[in-house]
Structure 1
Amino acid sequence: MTSRAAIDVRPITEAEFADWNRAMNIGFLREPSMSEEVIDARRAQFTPGRSVGAFDAGRCVATFRSFAQELTVVGGAAVQADAVTNVTVSPTHRRRGLLTRMMTEELAAAKGRGDVVATLIAAEYPIYGRYGFGPATWATEWTIDVPRTGLDPRWAGPEDGGRVDLVDAEDVRKLGPELHERLRRVRPGVVSRDELWWRTTTGAVRFHATFHEPFYVVYRSAAGEVEGMAAYTTDDRWGDGKQPLNTARVKWLTGVTPAAERALWHYLCSVDWVVRVRSGYRAPDDLLPLLLPDPRAAAVTTHADFLWVRVLDVVRALEARTYEGAGSLVLEVADADGPAGGRYRLEVSEDGTGTCAPTTENADIALDVSDLGALYLGDESAVRLVALGRVREERAGAARTADALLRTSRRPWCPDVF
């Protein structure tokens, strides 16, 4: 077994990109080899210095990549984020500290770049808390039993004067970015999408050998403004009696108004031959079930953690978001060998804006930086974390104060896997 010190952890060169992708596929239990066309397409993601590999005798055995991202926080502001992805360790090289080496170096680099937080989507729950990440958003998927919804099967379009139209990939690339920016301005947890995202989601750039083109629909209001868009696929399943039993699977659905969400979900439940609709990952408090005459027709299929947040700069993070009321809170943040440790006073004015600064005052609550990440977007409860023994009250009632300030009326939502 090669010693830990003999394994070389460093940014890869462009010439090592194919080997790095092979190692990533192995880590994710995918077919190791890929075509030259797919490798060339994936080069669009390559940024010098931000794709890291671990090499044993010249062979890549672990992978790690980061990229620049913006995260919308409570109140609509965006903070600079270090998005972490493509994290793997080959099964031959587990338990040698490779992830710790890669993550430690990356978080230090992110702090040096001025990033406020780091983000990731965790494939496995137990891994990332030890690096200071906490689950800041959760996701729910529903399966809709269409015949049970109570919707009129003769539905042919919105009743509000708007309309739903099928469009093609070029329309999505043209209309989608502006619509997503409107969503980003109002929903905490939403992350930025660059041009490459729109090109890959519509098949203009293909990171996999096969691409199944989805159907795309757009909702326009009575005034002609684009307020919603969805992409979905369907299967081709028929019962023994020649009855259709098809399922529509939503790849993504964006609505910036309740009317748009209602129209798009009703459309999906009206497509001939479709008897089930899989919603894709939505916010746990999504409007979807209650948009149906019989909400029980939408059964929860999946409910799990989704976007994880790691606070790198406590002062900038807490000052970037807004709060639900006036008040103050002194937080003792534990961050072993990390950049966020210390004691901080958060002061919130009547208009919901906050100021934060290091302090020597007595702490009101004490918590790990991972729990600060879980609380940051307003989804988690400090009172609940106290009950779990993860947050400690240094002043009686301080957790209730924290919830009154930090929690939000609508839950944060991240629509993207990255």
Structure 2
Amino acid sequence: MSSRDDIDVRPIRADEIPDWIRAMNTGFLRPPGPSEAEIADRSTYIVPERTLGAFDGQRCVGTFRSFAQEITAVGGTAVRADAISNVTVTSTHRRRGILTRMMAQDLAAARERGDVVATLIAAEYPIYGRYGFGAATTTAEWTVDVPRTGLDPRWAGPGDGGRVDLVDGDDVRKNGPELHERLRRSQPGAIDRSERWWQTATGGPVPDRAAWTEPFHAVYRNARGETEGLLTYTVDDHWGDAKQPLQTAQVKDLIAVSPAAERALWQHVCSIDWVTAVRTGRRAADDLLPHLLPDPRAAAITTQADWLWVRILDVVAALEARTYGATGALVLEVTDAAGLARGRYRLDASPEGASCARTTEEAELVLPVAGLGSLWLGDESAVRLAALGRVQEIREGAARLADALLRTSRRPWCPDIF
């Protein structure tokens, strides 16, 4: 068996992309051999210098990829992020420090580039906390029993002067990005979407064309004709034994910049003939949907879990990028085994702005960098973390002050996976 010293962790070369894809597919328990279509597709966006491989001789046994991302902080500022994806270690090479080495290389490079945070979607909960990541948003999915909702089955459109129209992929590619940017500017936790994202979601190049299912797209336009919402969904083809339609609509994407648009698009998908169930896709944990229904119990939660994880790389930049709903000063002692964010910081915050700087003052709240990542977008509570033993309150009331400063009235939400 090869030792840790025998494993070479480094950026891949362009000619190593097929072997790297094979290792990634193996790690995710997919058929390992990449098709020519998959190689061609992934080669369009893999950046070799930001794509790490762990090599045992000539064989790739670990994969790690990062790319530039923007994430919206509380208040609407777009923050530079190091987005991490495609992380695997082959089962024959576990417990040899491969992931630790890949993570250390990537985070050090991200800090050197000036990235403020690193982000990822964790497939398994226990892994990433030890690298300083904290769960920062929650995702939820509901299944709606349409006949139980109490909605008018004869609904023919919004009564506010707006309208819902079905559109095609070309229209979505034309108008969707601007609408998403409007949402992203106001939604903490939202991330940017690339041109490739829109192409893939609307029928552009995909690795396996045979697997593509063309969805339905609907937009809500207000009384002035302005687009305020976009809905993308598919419908299965299930019928009961008595020739009864029992079809389920699966929402792939629903973004809205007004409550009116959100209400109209949910009403639309819940009023389609033959559809008896709607799966909502990934939503914020405090989504409006259940209470838009006359009977909220018709929407049952089928998934609720952590979603976007955040690792703070630059404490000062991260805390100064966001806004605050109260006025106060707090001295934080941030612990960080990697040393990237370790230190003592004084935060002076108010609704008018904030400043943060290193300080020698006595700490009032001691927390690991993972805890700061969980608090940064406003979803987690410092009081709750203190009760769990994950935050140490040195000055009585410091955790309550942290909540008053950091928590948000609506929960952060990341609609996307990466």
Distance 1:240 1:211 in 2: 29
1:295 corresponds to 2:296: yes
Partner of 2:223: 222
Partner of 1:271: 272
Runs of 4 or more, structure 1, over 6 Å off, are none
Q: CA deviation at 1:2?
A: 0.9
Distance 1:191 1:13 in 2: 28
Partner of 1:163: 163
SS in 2 for 1:88: strand
Partner of 2:141: 141
Q: CA deviation at 1:208?
A: 4.1
How many equivalent pairs are there?
A: 417
Partner of 1:337: 338
Partner of 1:106: 106
Q: Deviations over 1:327-382 (max 9, x none)?
A: 00000000012310000000013x34110000000111000000000000000000
Distance 1:285 1:236 in 2: 31
Amino acid in structure 1 at the alignment position of 2:49: G
Distance 1:111 1:127 in 2: 21
Distance 1:240 1:159 in 2: 37
SS in 2 for 1:166: strand
Distance 2:92 2:306 in 1: 28
SS in 1 for 2:40: helix
Q: Deviations over 1:2-28 (max 9, x none)?
A: 111111111111111111111111111
Amino acid in structure 1 at the alignment position of 2:229: G
- Structure 2's unaligned 5+ residue stretches are none
1:403 corresponds to 2:387: no
Aligned 1:153-302 pairs, distance under 5 A? 153-208=153-208, 210-302=211-303
Q: Deviations over 1:196-238 (max 9, x none)?
A: 1111222312134521111111111111101000111111111
Partner of 2:122: 122
Distance 1:269 1:318 in 2: 41
Structure 1 pair 403/352, CA: closer, same or farther in 2 (3 Å)? farther
The answer to whether the 8 A contact 2:37-2:208 is kept is: no
SS in 2 for 1:45: coil
Amino acid in structure 1 at the alignment position of 2:222: S
Partner of 1:93: 93
Distance 1:214 1:306 in 2: 25
Distance 1:330 1:375 in 2: 15
Distance 2:308 2:368 in 1: 18
Amino acid in structure 2 at the alignment position of 1:95: R
The answer to whether the 8 A contact 1:324-1:352 is kept is: no
Q: Which stretch shifts more, 255-264 or 194-203?
A: 194-203
1:382 corresponds to 2:375: no
Partner of 1:318: 319
The answer to whether the 8 A contact 1:325-1:352 is kept is: no
Amino acid in structure 2 at the alignment position of 1:376: W
SS in 2 for 1:46: coil
Q: Which stretch shifts more, 128-137 or 12-21?
A: 12-21
Partner of 2:310: 309
Distance 1:363 1:347 in 2: 14
Partner of 2:54: 54
SS in 1 for 2:44: helix
What percentage of residue pairs aligned between the two structures are identical?
Answer: 68
Distance 1:192 1:168 in 2: 22
The answer to whether the 8 A contact 2:173-2:199 is kept is: yes
Q: Which stretch shifts more, 82-91 or 209-218?
A: 209-218
Distance 1:171 1:338 in 2: 48
Partner of 1:79: 79
Distance 2:43 2:171 in 1: 25
Amino acid in structure 1 at the alignment position of 2:195: E
Q: Deviations over 1:91-127 (max 9, x none)?
A: 1111111100000000000000000000000000000
Structure 1 pair 363/208, CA: closer, same or farther in 2 (3 Å)? farther
Distance 1:323 1:208 in 2: 46
Distance 1:279 1:232 in 2: 9
Distance 1:6 1:157 in 2: 65
